[in-house]
Amino acid sequence: MMLKIALLQLLPGGSLAEQQNIGTSACRKAKDMGADIALFPEMWSDGYFLPQEEGAVDALAITADSEFICAFRELAKELQMAIGITFLEKHDPKPLNSILLFDRKGNERLHYSKVHICAFADETVLSPGEDFYVTDLDIGRGTVKIGSMICFDREFPESARILMLKGAEVILAPNACPMEINRLSALRTRAYENKTAVVTCNYPKGQPDCNGHSSVFDGVAWLSDVPGVRDMCIFEAPEAEGVYLAGIDMDMLREYREHEVMGEKYRHPDKYGILTKEG
């Protein structure tokens, strides 16, 4: 089974209505390209804009049942295509950096909020999420176990590791930062060490502090009948704005996960106590 994911590497507009219009057009294009899932870059509802003045960010935050979010729920149902819509979510005491994944019938399958917020920078105005989640996503030709992490989450091996332990086969990773060799290497490593595909959608060049290079690492480092290693990076976008389609061979990934040694098979969790200690 080939899982086709559209990376919506888009420049934002100037209002929530523009974001909805741009996003809707991109999702329709993704469907025309044959996508099973359309994924937005980080915090699409306001183009990753985080004003620091007191109360300003709260005014931009929207609820998970807002008209904006419901429009993408209905669009997923209309197009018969899963949509991962990202948004600044209204929350007390501070907003959340969230993604909602709707399946092809418009049902909510995943609601995740960024755990590792960038509290050293503009995201001091946000609250962190509480946990990592995995869901079964029916794409019509079969079911895929999907999880999500957002941008800075990738720098913590625990994010992808927890998702893998919860069964994730594919991790959706909305993003808003420059994707250079070190960040791309972190994504490659998360895919390699967990035998999990990692799909990242970034903003294109033209968005401040972003440069495109949305990517897909399929998590398969080598094949038993092919000598040497293979490049797990099966797709990397250029800097330019666009809707880019990549396909993950789920049969190949599942065969690899069944027989290879990374992931959970040889872990020693009884030795890892220090990881859960504070400080």
Beta-bridged to residue 233, according to DSSP, are 217
What average pLDDT is seen over the chain? 96
Q: Which amino acid is at 178?
A: P
The pLDDT, as a whole number, for residue 229 is 84
Residue 82: is its pLDDT beyond 90? yes
The pLDDT, as a whole number, for residue 9 is 98
pLDDT tens digits along 252-271: 999 999 988 888 888 888 88
HEC letters along 47-108? CCCCCCCCCHHHHHCECCCCHHHHHHHHHHHHHCCEEEEEEEECCCCCCEEEEEEECCCCCE
Beta-bridged to residue 245, according to DSSP, are 6
Residue 227 pLDDT level (bands cut at 50, 70, 90): confident
pLDDT tens digits along 151-166: 999 999 999 999 999 9
**Please, where are the H alpha helices in the chain?**
16-32, 56-60, 67-79, 157-165, 181-194, 250-259
Residue 223 pLDDT level (bands cut at 50, 70, 90): confident
Residue 111: is its pLDDT beyond 90? yes
The pLDDT, as a whole number, for residue 260 is 87
Residue 101 pLDDT level (bands cut at 50, 70, 90): very high
Nearest to 35 by CA among 131, 124, 139: 139
Q: List the domains of the chain with CATH numbers.
A: 2-276 (3.60.110.10)
**Are 210 and 242 within 8 A, CB to CB?**
no
